[in-house]
Chains A and B, each alone.
Chain A
């Protein structure tokens, strides 16, 4: 199978966030975020619901604009929609009236679009479902089509907004492996938002914990890939991040720390 559209390997975009702030009306969702992401790095953003992690991702995607602060993608100011930035949502958001193949082709020029879309489908293991309607696919298959739809644009930055949140445990692990393998092959920069700490540690080079719109923890994950969930080093990092998340939870109860919850 020809896959020359992936070559030369797309370089990841470098991200530079400086004092990034986002308000929705009187409510401040992000209070000055400072983060640098290396090209090709896999960053996971974890945090509890409503901590601002999805807003941060939407800023990176250009779906929202920051209230103040700077956001640069490879030293170009962000803000406009870019063809080398693609986002996967929590729901697959496939067009139900288009076939699987047509969905992957969305936004591609007519010429070699179909061939490229077929290649991308093959990459996620769904080449044989090209002619099907999305309504007959399972949840995991729909997310794989959504992944193919993002990959076909050769993104240099892939944003993942809890795309595995609605999947069952086994499909989830399968998808994690798929995402890791295409990331290793194509070397784009990946930013994954999730509230599953184990998923973040399994996939990311670096785990960022966001609490109340601030970066509360920035943890490097130096484990060799592919990572085994059961290993002691894995468990130790997962435990450290989890402890930080839960301590914050404990303080929420009227300031009464509940040390029991701290692992």
Chain B
């Protein structure tokens, strides 16, 4: 590229031009009176509400609660998915035994289980944890399983002929070979994690971002509802950034992941 430096600056700025324009258009429409504050308050009001919630400490509290739930669900569901995926990917017998069952369960949408979850767990923390865990389980399970299966058989044969077996073979060849696929699963899971948490918190919660927005809806505080919606957007983006960061760090050997704009 002839003008690499300006293009780097451009790449840093360009993604934010459209959101900025939308924001400006929104503010202008509100000021001109085209938008009722009941439907969509002006961005400035949303900003003020955000600041108010931040200062009072409820925002930090709710975000912390929601993030805690999301990560706990990810740890349980994702951890289980990783372990089972490694198991079915590595051992034929485990695949024969488990894969059919898991594929059947996979076809049940996690959200269809909500009535059952409420009957089982009531509306307390374990219900939310269960929903998030179920949702993030499958992307990680499937991608781990396929990642292990897709490891280059030639590399495995080479490593065996060099005396590697058991755990060293796993650590040197099979896990790194499956890692790109596992990370794809993680990215899918991070997206699903927030979706499921929003639903779970909207149904029933005494704290968290979902509770905050549902509460605000009852009092017609559209600005606070919008703060909640924007928070989800920000947290989702943040999760994606973390996943991409992991990919760039762990897959830096792979030319496909070099120089990808975050």
Q: CB within 8 Å of B: which residues of A? A: 61-63, 81, 83, 86-87, 89, 91, 93, 95-98, 106-107, 133-136, 149, 153
Contacts and interface: CB of A to CB of B under 8 A. Distances in A.
Contact of A95 (B155, B161, B252): B155
Contact of A83 (B158, B159, B163, B255): B163
Given A95-B172, A96-B254, A89 B163 contact: no
B160 A81 contact: yes
A96 B152 CA distance: 11
B176 interface: yes
B162 A106 contact: yes
A106 B159 contact: yes
A262 to B, nearest CB: 38
Interface of B: 154-155, 157-164, 172-173, 176-177, 179, 251-255
| Interface core residue of A106, A135, A136 (most chain B CB under 10 Å) | A106
A93 B157 CA distance: 9
B155 A107 contact: no
A89 B154 CA distance: 9
A62 B162 CA distance: 11
Contacts of B162: 86, 106-107, 149, 153
Interface residue SS majority, chain B: helix
B254 to A, nearest CB: 7
Interface residue SS majority, chain A: loop
20 contacts: A61-B161, A62-B161, A86-B162, A87-B161, A89-B154, A89-B158, A91-B154, A93-B155, A93-B157, A95-B173, A97-B253, A106-B159, A106-B172, A133-B253, A133-B255, A134-B253, A135-B253, A135-B254, A136-B255, A153-B162
B164 A106 contact: yes
B176 A97 contact: yes
Nearest to B164: A107
A98 B155 contact: no
Given A135-B253, A135-B254, A63 B157 contact: yes
Given A89-B154, A93-B154, A98 B253 contact: yes
A95 B159 CA distance: 9
B231 to A, nearest CB: 37
Contacts of B164: 106-107
B248 to A, nearest CB: 14
B161 A63 contact: yes
Contacts of B251: 97
Contacts of A107: 159, 162-164
Contacts of B172: 95, 98, 106
Contacts of B254: 96-97, 135
Nearest to A99: B253
